[in-house]
Chain A
Amino acid sequence: MKIIVAIKQVPERDAQVRIDAAGKWIDESNLQYALNESDAYALEEALQLKEKSAAAGGEVVVVSVGPERVGQTIREALAKGADRAIHIVCDDLGLRDALGVARLLAAAVKPENPDLILTGLQSEDLGLGQTGVIVAELLGLPHATLILNVEKTETGLKVKRELEEGWFQTIELPTPAVLTIQSGGNKLRYATLMGIKRAKMKEVRQLTAASLGVDAPPVVVLEHVALPQKQKSTQILPGTAKEAAAALVEKLKFEVRVL
């Protein structure tokens, strides 16, 4: 089974949020980046599927869109066990809408003729949660979202989909197909030293929007960003840990009345 995993590099979770001079995005100058969490689970699912069908000779190919720095995250995916990678080098990711990014991915993935395309259910930065579904639409493939478990069957796939409030559902679908993976379905692996060494030798093919022939203006633009307004006036309890704890106990006793 040939599996493509679309991954995204995102700012680390506890990165400090400072709005840039243009007010269009955050200041990226001192940011650290990481692999998007649900994409890490998509990669893990792909690696496990390949390992389960080792005899059939599967392949896991990661694909990512973004500037040069994305190469680091791609190497990490290769170190975990992906066989090769496609890097769509793109410095103007922020100017492309979800359809524009999905068009890049679809154009890069199509000639690969994969059996399965996996991606995380949503990114931690923009949180659109649409890329996988749009790629499926553009490639004319069936899809399922919020998937926790993938099983190969005679005719295709049997997947476990998460519904709201603790409910689940099993869905059967033919391959090739696109699945967006929810986090938590598997235990994530770490890269081994050997994996890190091997990753340096693996193929990373670089493509661009121009080489893929993708050039359409966005239909949705992010005009500006702002820090959220507080919904409640939070009373911050100051002082040392001990002082703050004592102040909170007073509040719990006399105002919230739960003690």
Chain B
Amino acid sequence: MSGVLVVVEQREGRIARISWEAVAAGQKLGATLTLPVSAAVVGAQTESFAAEIAARPLDKVFRVEHPLLARYTPDGFSLALHQLIQAESPACIVFPHTYQVRDYAPALAARLGQVLIGDVTAIGDGPVFTRQLLQGRLNGAYRPTGSGPCLISVQAGAFRAEAPEAGASAAPATVTTFVPTLESAQIRTTPGEPFRGGSQTVDLSSAQMIVCVGRGIKDAENLPLVQDLATALGAELAASRPICDNGWLPMERQVGSSGQTVSPKLYLGVGISGAIQHLVGMKGSQCVVAINKDPDAPIFEVADYGIVGDLFEVVPALTEAIKAARQ
């Protein structure tokens, strides 16, 4: 085939937006390299997913199907995709950068003697792939130099997922079923059913205003400072992961890839640097305000308003000013 192969992820009966973004990235890469673009979907029953994917402007859609692929396991998925890659020899393989892909794609790449270029945010001529370093404070340009296929995974939100063009002139993609050779003994891990952690009593996703606190607060003792600000605003208090890891606030108040995704009218980040894992959870906010002492903190890249200063001075002053304005 020697084209671009996009691996689309299906979970809980649906294909998430990030997979369509991976398709868009694959099409961009295909255009750069003038190569045809195909897609694969892995599972035990993939017919409806394949039909949905085939509506996109793609060359082929592969249904990688086997009863042992009903539940995701790193062994099952990497064995199955390895066989498809051996059979089709794509030049590039594009994945969505999900927790699942992070779990198996590095092993699959190593099996091919390659290295996955993960969490890609842009594709340049060459091709050269941009990914973030130092928690988003630096961008790195990576170039594959090996002789085998290049493997990349794309960051959520980095590529625009196009809606399928209704009545597009191109013929629908041909759907082929690929049945890998798998035996149950090859699958060494036994996954359980997913479950929700703790009681989800705080629904941050519907909050109109959120004050979000990060490492800059330094100590649990200082939290009343931001709680007062949240109360004055009438906002929900939320936090970045390290605050919840330390047990200073409950996990259910965490915003980010491992916590809740929020899109309030106002997001006010206090002492938050803005690591990508946090940004993916709040970049849908209508207005972002950041208070941080570091003018180079990545949060300022997505902020509408910023105050560069000591939060221990700015936050009390802001709380007072809001109280005065509310009177």
Seen from chain A, the residues whose Cβ lies within 8 Å of a Cβ on chain B are: 11, 13-14, 16-17, 19, 26, 37, 97-99, 102, 124-130, 133-134, 136-138, 142-146, 162-174, 182-184, 187, 217-232, 234-237, 241-242, 244-246, 248-249, 251-253, 256, 258-259
Chain A to chain B contacts (Cβ below 8 Å), 15 pairs: A17-B134, A102-B110, A127-B276, A129-B106, A130-B116, A143-B74, A169-B192, A171-B189, A172-B189, A173-B188, A219-B113, A223-B141, A227-B138, A259-B322, A259-B325
Tell me if A164 and B106 are in contact (CB < 8 A): no
Extra 9 A-B pairs, beta carbons < 8 Å, given A129-B119, A167-B197, A228-B137: A127-B135, A143-B74, A165-B260, A166-B196, A221-B145, A222-B141, A223-B141, A236-B300, A242-B317
Tell me if B306 and A235 are in contact (CB < 8 A): yes
Q: Which listed residue, A187, A223, A248, touches B142 by the CB 8 Å rule?
A: A223
Tell me if A170 and B134 are in contact (CB < 8 A): no
Most buried by A among B114, B128, B138, B290: B138
Q: Tell me the complex Cα distance, A129–B282, Å.
A: 22
Q: Tell me the complex Cα distance, A222–B139, Å.
A: 10
Smallest CB separation, B179 vs chain A (Å) = 24
Given A97-B115, A183-B245, A245-B318: A174 and B304 within 8 A (CB)? no
- In chain B, positions 166-222 with a C-beta closer than 8 Å to chain A are 188-197, 200, 208-209, 215
Q: Tell me the complex Cα distance, A232–B104, Å.
A: 35
B26 cross-chain contacts in A, Cβ below 8 A: none
Q: Which residue of A lies closest to B216 (CB)?
A: A14
Given A130-B106, A248-B289, A258-B209: A166 and B259 within 8 A (CB)? yes
B273 cross-chain contacts in A, Cβ below 8 A: 13
Q: Which residue of A lies closest to B193 (CB)?
A: A169
Binds A, one of B32-40, B51-59, B62-70, B308-316: B308-316
Tell me if B107 and A133 are in contact (CB < 8 A): yes
Smallest CB separation, A33 vs chain B (Å) = 13
Tell me if A183 and B241 are in contact (CB < 8 A): yes
- In chain B, positions 138-182 with a C-beta closer than 8 Å to chain A are 138-146, 148
Smallest CB separation, A223 vs chain B (Å) = 5
B317 cross-chain contacts in A, Cβ below 8 A: 241-242, 244-245
Given A225-B138, A249-B321, A256-B265: A164 and B258 within 8 A (CB)? yes
Tell me if B190 and A171 are in contact (CB < 8 A): yes
Tell me if B99 and A241 are in contact (CB < 8 A): no
Q: Tell me the complex Cα distance, A246–B133, Å.
A: 35
User: How many residues does chain B have at the interface if contact means C-beta atoms less than 8 Å apart?
Assistant: 99
Q: Tell me the complex Cα distance, A175–B314, Å.
A: 52
Q: Which listed residue, A169, A218, A224, touches B145 by the CB 8 Å rule?
A: A218
Q: Which listed residue, B117, B258, B298, touches A228 by the CB 8 Å rule?
A: B298
Smallest CB separation, A7 vs chain B (Å) = 18
A127 cross-chain contacts in B, Cβ below 8 A: 119, 131-135, 276
Smallest CB separation, B245 vs chain A (Å) = 3
Tell me if B135 and A124 are in contact (CB < 8 A): yes
A168 cross-chain contacts in B, Cβ below 8 A: 194-197
Given A124-B135, A142-B188, A171-B192: A136 and B302 within 8 A (CB)? no
Is B111 engaged at the interface, CB distance under 8 Å to the other chain? yes
A146 cross-chain contacts in B, Cβ below 8 A: 99, 102-103
- In chain B, positions 79-124 with a C-beta closer than 8 Å to chain A are 98-99, 102-104, 106-107, 109-111, 113-119
